[in-house]
Amino acid sequence: MKTALKLLLFTLLVTGFYTYIGQMVPQTEVHPPKTRELRADMTQDELIEAGQEIVGGKGTCLGCHTIGADKPGRFPDLGGVGARAGSRKPGLTDVEYLAESLYDPNAFIVEGYSPGMPQISKSPIGLTDPEILAVIAYLQSLGGEPSVTLQTHLKQARAPK
Amino acid sequence: MLALAVLAFLTPGPVRAEAPPLMKQSDCLACHQPDRKVVGPSFTDIAGRYGTADIPKLVQKVKQGGAGNWGALAMSPHPDLKDADLGAMIGWILTAHAPGANPAKGPDVIAGTKPGQEAPAYRNFPVIGSRVAIWIVAQLHLMFAAFVLAVPMFAFIIELIGYRTKDERYDHLAHEFTKLLSTSFSFTASLGVLLSFLLIFLYPKLMSYMTAIFGWTFLPYVLLFFAETVFLYSYYYGWGKFHPKVHLLLGLGLNITGMGILFIADSWLTFMNSPNGVTESGELVNRWAAVHNFTWMPINVHRIIANIAFGGSIAGAYAAFKFLDAKTDEERAHYDWMGYIGNFIAISGLLPLPFAGYWLGKEIYAYSQNMGMTLMGGAFSWLFIIQAVLIGTLFLAVNYYLWLGMERIEGAERFRKFIKYLLGGVTVCFLVWATPHSLVATVEESRKMGGAHHPALGVLGVMSAKNTAVNILILTTYVSFLLYRRGNKKATVPWAKTGDRIEFLIFASSAIFVIFLGVLGYFVEAKVRIRLSVPQVAAVLFAMISVTVIDIFMFRKAEITGEIRWGKIPRRAQYALFLIAITFTWIMGLMGYVRAGIRQHWHVYGVMRDESINAFTPTLGFAAKVVSVTVLLFFGFLAIIFWLTGLTTSADWKPRKDGQA
Amino acid sequence: MNFWVVVPMVLALIGLRFLKPGILLWLAAWWGGCFIFLRFGILPPLPSSIIGLFMAILTAALALYGTADADKLSAIGKSLRAFLMERRFAPWLWGSLVVIPLLVGFNAYRQATSEAVAPATGRTIHPAPPSEITFRGKKIDILKASNPFRELEGKDKAAFAGHVAGGRAIYYKNCVFCHGDNMEGDGLYSHGLDPQPANFADPTTIAMLQESYLFWRIAKGGPGLPEESAPWASAMPAWEATLGEDEIWDVILFLYSFTGRKPRAQERAE
């Protein structure tokens, strides 16, 4: 009985210590991403803002991409992408190029990088077509003139459910 | 708790007047329900706020629609309804649902209990909430299952050793391990039943989806479970009653069925992490692909190895308790030996475990970059600092037990002088492994550092340094074991000196190689750096295997310079054994949390969203508390099991007589 | 590393070794040595969270060392008994009975008198700039913009000096209160701010950045910082309300000229 009590005390001490270690690290609670309502009557600026929100939140783009960093990380830097999107791939306009990069990321790989970006139009990220339009508007705004609206039709867009 | 919840659920409520027919023809019920808030407020809530005097006002309200009284969602206008009809309907709502309204006829049913009606997606568990309830029960079930799967594996191997070497001690030990099984087996099954009840009750929607995908695996699962039960009890009660070969065959059957059960159960949970064989919207395309998903095999392998290590450590803890409680030297000798074997099994599982974990991590990355990022770089990156503290403690305790174990070996004193260097190595590796990349610092401190990264210490916070530390840690532990093994032996082969030198050379060169690659990691790009861990691991494995081979040949005909005095080990060594078991259990809890946690707000990753109030990922501090509660519950149950096992004091194991068939 | 602490400490440990100290003293010396090394020996100093973690591990390791074999444990027991019982250690024993409570008391005093400190948070040092900002209705491309007066440095020394002087006046009217006389981020107000104002004398701040980046940070201030990795909690005002475009470029010239740093050159992306 004495042994059992000693071991009980020992167990309590050790688990207590590990619980304490658990409290010592930074505590963050991760909440599911909020979806922003995309309305047809949004202004261009609101659409860009929504796109920026998606890039930083639901789209999880900034986990890998940087915007205007000193040195590029594992994926291309997106700073000024709006200016060069039109000339990346011959025959594609900037909107077409960005749409292809979002719907089918491995169709064209920027020189010096490896493929690896997931199809963000599919689960688990699962951006909807309007959300992708908002992202394109935001990307265009990085160094270029945004031209897409929610009415723009992309050939990759899926039929409404 | 469950019984109470079921009781509350089944208790009939008051009865109430039937709704006027108009009510059913109009669209009210699309948004309003008697007792439940759906889109609009429930009738009970409405009746609680308004009286019959408010009817004219409410009639106008329904006709015009609008928002603001109950929430932001607007009610659509209903201009086509007649005032008189509306008045009757509202009157019914107010009177039939008023607090204390005298029910007229028919029982008041509880929402979601009509047969054939769709079940609610979630139900709530009182006080601690559904998620924590499932979390604790699932984790407990898993721990017991791990123990129940692991023990037959080494009981079988130990029995086989006993059979081959004709050493009765091994047979006795295998029997003692198996003795722990039968009660644990019932506990595991009970917890499994509790878990499935809870899941079906609390997460009906998820469970009906999982049943749709995996329904066909339930029958083989149940059959295997029956088979396992038969094998287990015939193996345990048939000890010494069958021919040894038949008995061993029973043990093998027990292991195979147990493994089958593990594989089937793993397919369910790995499907939730990395679904396969289903379309984007979750419809089943290929049954086998759903089972054979990305992380299925890695989890199977990782769990088998971890189970062995865990089972060994729990058996070691049992022996430690028995040793501390022992009255005679004979008992002490026996349990010292049992603890030693348990610890040996734990180390054998522990050393390859990081490699299996590495494979699992790689598969997670291959399955989904997002999930990999969440695991290593995102919310969970701090979890690995906690894990480092735990595993560092584990390695310290394992080495400490080996050093103290030398006390029981005559002649091992000559190795004591090496302890400090081994300890130094383990400690430095531990420190490196536990160093976070960005440090927690107050404003004043980060002012002095010039940011969250320390210029000197930041170097230790990255992958290269950690991989190197783990490899050196494994190597050091292996050296401790080697010294222990040599404790009472003196090599007699003529090349003994050369052999020593070669072994030393192998250790030194592989350590230097590992460190060199670790340092090189800072100077090459990420792509190359990730691949460097493979040669590191290879060097450590090469060193361990080649040294073992040399050592076996060198000490084959070694002179025995002293005897091993089982039982002559300090009592504090038994606490080290106990610490290993607690730490192992805690790590299992932590890893269970991260495995389920990386799904984040998904039930089935990318297919089925968690839409309950528990969709968020809790903080590490909260997870640590839940893990601790689970660990304490586990040890509590374990104490009951050990106590029950101890009740059968009758000598149920007898030395086998020769020729017994 | 702070050699003024580390070298004497190592020498002291080596010296102690020659005196053949008892195991207890030796462990205590190691413990103290580790602590002094972590606390005072490393520059810049380590945060206390990490010192706590390391010391916990080291304490455990030293405890294991002292108990890892029977001889050491009995030696520890013997020295401990001797320390408590024998007359020759009496002064030491009494001394420790006085010193330990004093140390505890001092620690309590220090904690009670120290000011409340904001909880620690992790943050990114260089926020990512937008590619373009709207400055008083005018679009400015942060990726491409360069300081219009920078070219005067080679062409027209007098005009350049004029712009730097203008920047100086602006700095001492507006910036000095937080960023300090020597631009070390230690101005009068800096003690009330978290994060502290940028230290321009530090080679890892403005010397690593392009002038257009500084323009963005000055014009848009704390409110203009990006969403990601929030909260920034920067107290930097958005100076576009007070300063004109030319004035901001002037003050940027002054920042570099005063600290003697060179801005990072504009590099063409591709």
- Beta-carbon contacts of C54 under 8 Å, excluding residues fewer than 6 positions away, are B431, C34, C38
Q: Where do the domains of chain A lie, and which CATH numbers do they carry?
A: 33-141 (1.10.760.10)
- What integer pLDDT is reported at residue A131 of this predicted model? 87
Residue B44 to residues B97, C15, C217: CA-CA distances in angstroms?
5, 85, 56
- What integer pLDDT is reported at residue B2 of this predicted model? 41
Binary contact (C132, A142; C-beta < 8 A): yes
Could you write out the three-class secondary structure of B354-391?
HHHHHHHHHHHHHHCHHHHHHHHCCCCCCHHHHHHHHH
Q: Give the type of residue at B380.
A: F
What pTM was estimated for this model as a whole?
0.71
Å between B126 CA and nearest CA of chain A: 22
Torsion sign (Cα): B571, B572, B575, B577? negative
Query: Which has more pLDDT, B259 or C114?
Result: B259
Q: What is the rounded distance in angstroms from the CA atom of residue A60 to the CA atom of residue A77?
A: 15
Res B467 pLDDT > 60: yes
Tokens of B616: 């968020």
Burial of B604 (0-12, 13-18, 19+ CB in 10 A): buried
Least confident of B398-407, B425-434, C63-72: C63-72
Binary contact (C68, B455; C-beta < 8 A): no
Q: Please give the radius of gyration of chain B, using alpha carbons only, rounded to the nearest integer.
A: 31
Å between A159 CA and nearest CA of chain C: 33
Which residues on chain B are in Cβ contact (under 8 Å) with C117?
442-444
Burial of A112 (0-12, 13-18, 19+ CB in 10 A): exposed
Res B459 pLDDT > 50: yes
Residue of C nearest to B396 (CA): C61
- What integer pLDDT is reported at residue B38 of this predicted model? 59
Nearest to B466 by CA among B522, B424, B417: B522
Taking only residues 68 to 127 of chain A, the set having a beta carbon closer than 8 angstroms to any beta carbon of chain B reads 74, 114, 116-118, 122-126
Cis peptide preceding B99, ω within 30 of 0: no
Picking from A26, A77, A79, the nearest residue to C122 by CB comes out as: A26
Which residues on chain A are in Cβ contact (under 8 Å) with B385?
25
A:B CB pairs within 8 Å: 119
Other residues' Cβ atoms within 10 Å of the Cβ of residue C241: 9
Mean pLDDT for all residues in chain A: 82
Over residues B212-230, mean pLDDT: 93
* Residue B427: pLDDT band with limits 50, 70, 90: very high
Q: Kindly give the pairing relationship between strand B602-604 and strand C138-141.
A: unpaired
Cα of B364 vs its chain's centroid, Å: 17
Give pLDDT tens digits for A65-96: 878 776 666 678 888 888 888 888 888 888 88
Q: What is the rounded distance in angstroms from the CA atom of residue B432 to the CA atom of residue B638?
A: 35
- What integer pLDDT is reported at residue B21 of this predicted model? 64
Determine the Cα angle at C122 with ends C120 and C124, to 5°.
145
Neighbours of chain B (3+ CB pairs under 8 A): A, C
Binary contact (B404, C68; C-beta < 8 A): yes
Which residues on chain C are in Cβ contact (under 8 Å) with B444?
117
* Residue C120: pLDDT band with limits 50, 70, 90: low
* Residue B74: pLDDT band with limits 50, 70, 90: low
Å between B442 CA and nearest CA of chain A: 13
Residue of C nearest to A65 (CA): C128
Q: What is the rounded distance in angstroms from the CA atom of residue B339 to the CA atom of residue B326?
A: 13
Residue B66, by phi and psi: left (phi above 0), alpha (psi -120 to 50) or beta? left
Element (H, E) at B304: helix B296-325
Å between A98 CA and nearest CA of chain C: 17
Mean pLDDT for all residues in chain C: 83
Helix%, strand%, coil% for chain A, nearest 5: 45, 0, 55
Cα of A122 vs its chain's centroid, Å: 13
B:C CB pairs within 8 Å: 99
Q: Kindly give the pairing relationship between strand B489-490 and strand B602-604.
A: unpaired
Res B3 pLDDT > 50: no
Q: What is the rounded distance in angstroms from the CA atom of residue C143 to the CA atom of residue C216?
A: 10
Give pLDDT tens digits for B516-573: 998 887 777 655 766 788 888 889 989 999 999 998 888 888 888 888 888 889 999 9
Å between B473 CA and nearest CA of chain C: 14
Least confident of B117-131, B178-192, B199-213, B220-234: B117-131
Which residues on chain C are in Cβ contact (under 8 Å) with A62?
228
Tokens of C109: 């005093």
Binary contact (A63, B373; C-beta < 8 A): yes
Nearest to B614 by CA among B120, B131, B108: B131
Binary contact (B392, C57; C-beta < 8 A): yes
Binary contact (B600, A32; C-beta < 8 A): yes
Are the C-beta atoms of C179 and C218 separated by less than 8 Å? no
Q: Is some CB atom of chain C closer than 8 A to the CB atom of A111?
A: no
Residue of C nearest to B416 (CA): C69
Q: Is some CB atom of chain C closer than 8 A to the CB atom of A146?
A: no
Which residues on chain A are in Cβ contact (under 8 Å) with B575?
10
Binary contact (B619, A6; C-beta < 8 A): no
Q: Give the type of residue at C94.
A: W
Binary contact (B449, C44; C-beta < 8 A): yes
Least confident of B62-76, B298-312, B498-512, C46-60: B62-76
Å between B434 CA and nearest CA of chain C: 8
Give pLDDT tens digits for B40-64: 777 777 777 777 777 777 777 777 7
Binary contact (A3, B321; C-beta < 8 A): yes
Binary contact (A125, B379; C-beta < 8 A): no
Nearest to C269 by CA among C141, C181, C89: C141
- What integer pLDDT is reported at residue C121 of this predicted model? 53
Which residues on chain A are in Cβ contact (under 8 Å) with C143?
68, 79-80, 143
Q: Where in chain C is the domain with CATH 1.10.760?
A: 132-259
Which residues on chain A are in Cβ contact (under 8 Å) with B280?
122-123
Picking from C122, C128, C270, the nearest residue to A67 by CB comes out as: C128
Determine the Cα angle at B604 with ends B598 and B608, to 5°.
120
| B609, HSE (Cβ side, Cα atoms, 13 Å) | 12
Over residues B269-292, mean pLDDT: 88
Residue of A nearest to C269 (CA): A80
- What integer pLDDT is reported at residue C266 of this predicted model? 57
Give pLDDT tens digits for B591-605: 999 999 888 888 998
Res C153 pLDDT > 90: no
Residue among A3, A18, A19, A66 with most chain B CBs within 10 A, to mutate: A18
Are the C-beta atoms of B234 and B181 separated by less than 8 Å? no
Q: Please give the radius of gyration of chain A, using alpha carbons only, rounded to the nearest integer.
A: 23
- What integer pLDDT is reported at residue B101 of this predicted model? 53
Tokens of B388: 């480092």
Query: Which has more pLDDT, B317 or C213?
Result: B317
Q: Is some CB atom of chain C closer than 8 A to the CB atom of B417?
A: no
- What integer pLDDT is reported at residue C122 of this predicted model? 46
Nearest to B633 by CA among B145, B148, B140, B184: B140
Tokens of C7: 């070298």
Which residues on chain B are in Cβ contact (under 8 Å) with C202?
450
Binary contact (B457, C61; C-beta < 8 A): no
Over residues B511-519, mean pLDDT: 91
Residue of B nearest to A15 (CA): B628
Neighbours of chain C (3+ CB pairs under 8 A): A, B
Least confident of B291-295, B436-440, B584-588: B436-440
State ipTM.
0.76
Res B493 pLDDT > 80: yes
CATH code reported for the domain at C132-259: 1.10.760
Binary contact (B442, C47; C-beta < 8 A): yes
Residue among A6, A12, A21, A35 with most chain B CBs within 10 A, to mutate: A21
Q: Where do the domains of chain B lie, and which CATH numbers do they carry?
A: 9-97 (1.10.760.10)
- What integer pLDDT is reported at residue B586 of this predicted model? 96
Torsion sign (Cα): C61, C62, C65, C70? negative
Q: What is the rounded distance in angstroms from the CA atom of residue C216 to the CA atom of residue C140?
A: 9
- What integer pLDDT is reported at residue A160 of this predicted model? 53
Residue among C55, C132, C206 with most chain A CBs within 10 A, to mutate: C132
Residue of B nearest to C119 (CA): B442
Q: What is the rounded distance in angstroms from the CA atom of residue B594 to the CA atom of residue B284?
A: 27
Residue of B nearest to A27 (CA): B619
Taking only residues 455 to 494 of chain B, the set having a beta carbon closer than 8 angstroms to any beta carbon of chain A reads none
- What integer pLDDT is reported at residue B432 of this predicted model? 92
Give pLDDT tens digits for A93-149: 888 888 888 888 888 888 877 777 878 887 777 788 888 888 998 888 888 888 888
- What integer pLDDT is reported at residue B546 of this predicted model? 93
Least confident of A49-53, B121-125, C103-107, C116-120: C116-120
Binary contact (B624, A63; C-beta < 8 A): no
Residue A25, by phi and psi: left (phi above 0), alpha (psi -120 to 50) or beta? beta
Binary contact (A15, B631; C-beta < 8 A): yes
Query: Which has more pLDDT, B253 or B112?
Result: B253
* Residue A60: pLDDT band with limits 50, 70, 90: confident
Å between A144 CA and nearest CA of chain C: 9
Neighbours of chain A (3+ CB pairs under 8 A): B, C
Q: Is some CB atom of chain A closer than 8 A to the CB atom of C49?
A: yes
Are the C-beta atoms of B524 and B454 separated by less than 8 Å? no
